[in-house]
C-alpha cells in the first residue's frame, strides 16, 4: 500500500490513479530561458533602408540601364572543344578552341529501341509457337519447323550475301 508522507498529518491512502498526480504536483518543472542576442545590422528597419537609398533610389530603370561588360575573347591555340579561362588585370579572358559539332544520337537510340522491340516481339511469337506445339503436338502447324531465331539468322545471311554481290566493283553487269 502507498501512504502519503507528511509529518503533520496522519498517513492517508492514495489510490493508484492519483499517485502520479501527487508526485507531479510536488515537483515543479522549470524550462530554461532562451536568450537571443539581437544584432540590428542583421535585421535593418524600413526607416534605415530608406535613409540608405535616399540619394540613389532603387528602380528597375536604373538597374536595366547599367551596361554589363562582355569578357574579352582571345582566339589561340587551344584544343578543339576546350576553353581556357583566366583572369588578367581584373578582367576575365577566354580562349576558345575550334568548336566541335555535337553528335546527334537520336538515330542510334532509335535503332537500339527498334532492336529491343523486335527482340521482344520475336520472343513473344516464339513463346506462342512453343505453347502451340506443346498443346497440339504433331498436329501443330509449327511442329518440326525451325525456330524464329534460326529463320531470322538465315534471312540476315541472305541479306549480307546480297549486299556483298551488289557492292562489288568487279562486275561488268553481265551475268
Digit-coded pLDDT (tens) for 60-77: 777 777 777 776 766 668
Q: Yes or no: say if 14 and 22 are a contact pair by the CB < 8 Å rule.
A: yes
Please tell me the predicted confidence (pLDDT) of residue 5.
57
Q: Yes or no: say if 149 and 122 are a contact pair by the CB < 8 Å rule.
A: yes
Which helix (H) or strand (E) segment is 122 a member of? helix 106-136
Q: Please determine, for residue 41, whether its predicted confidence score (pLDDT) is greater than 90.
A: no
Q: Work out whether strand 72-75 and strand 83-88 pair parallel, antiparallel, or are unpaired.
A: unpaired
**pLDDT (average), residues 114-134:** 93
Percent of the chain with pLDDT over 90: 19
The range of the structural domain enclosing residue 120 comes to 106-165
23 vs 13: which has the higher pLDDT: 13
Q: Domain end: 83, 102, 121, which one?
A: 102
Please tell me the predicted confidence (pLDDT) of residue 129.
93
Q: How far is CA 163 from CA 111, 140, 154, 158, 159, in A?
A: 20, 36, 14, 9, 6
Query: Of the ranges 42-56, 103-117, 140-154, which one carries the lowest mean pLDDT score?
Result: 42-56
Residue 34 lies in a domain: no
Residue 119 lies in a domain: yes
Instruction: Say whether both 111 and 161 belong to one domain.
Output: yes
Cell matching residue 45: 528597419
Instruction: Say whether both 98 and 117 belong to one domain.
Output: no
Instruction: Say whether both 111 and 130 belong to one domain.
Output: yes
Confidence bin at 175 (pLDDT 50/70/90) = very low
Please tell me the predicted confidence (pLDDT) of residue 118.
92
Query: Of the ranges 14-28, 85-99, 150-164, which one carries the lowest mean pLDDT score?
Result: 14-28
Instruction: Say whether both 130 and 160 belong to one domain.
Output: yes
Instruction: Say whether both 120 and 154 belong to one domain.
Output: yes
Amino acid at each position: 500500500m502507498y501512504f502519503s508522507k507528511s509529518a503533520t498529518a496522519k498517513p492517508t491512502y492514495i489510490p493508484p490513479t492519483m499517485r502520479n498526480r501527487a508526485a507531479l504536483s510536488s515537483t515543479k518543472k522549470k524550462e530554461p530561458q532562451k536568450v537571443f542576442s539581437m544584432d540590428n545590422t542583421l535585421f535593418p528597419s524600413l526607416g534605415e533602408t530608406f535613409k540608405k537609398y535616399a540619394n540613389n533610389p532603387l528602380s528597375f530603370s536604373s538597374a536595366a540601364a547599367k551596361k554589363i561588360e562582355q569578357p574579352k575573347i582571345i582566339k589561340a591555340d587551344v584544343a578543339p572543344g576546350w576553353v581556357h579561362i583566366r583572369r588578367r588585370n581584373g578582367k576575365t579572358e577566354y580562349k576558345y578552341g575550334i568548336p566541335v559539332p555535337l553528335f546527334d544520337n537520336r538515330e542510334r537510340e532509335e535503332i537500339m529501341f527498334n532492336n529491343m522491340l523486335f527482340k521482344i516481339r520475336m520472343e513473344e511469337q516464339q513463346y506462342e509457337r512453343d505453347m502451340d506445339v506443346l498443346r497440339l503436338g504433331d498436329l501443330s502447324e509449327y511442329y518440326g519447323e525451325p525456330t524464329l531465331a534460326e529463320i531470322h539468322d538465315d534471312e540476315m545471311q541472305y541479306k549480307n550475301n546480297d549486299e556483298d554481290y551488289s557492292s562489288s566493283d568487279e562486275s561488268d553487269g553481265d551475268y
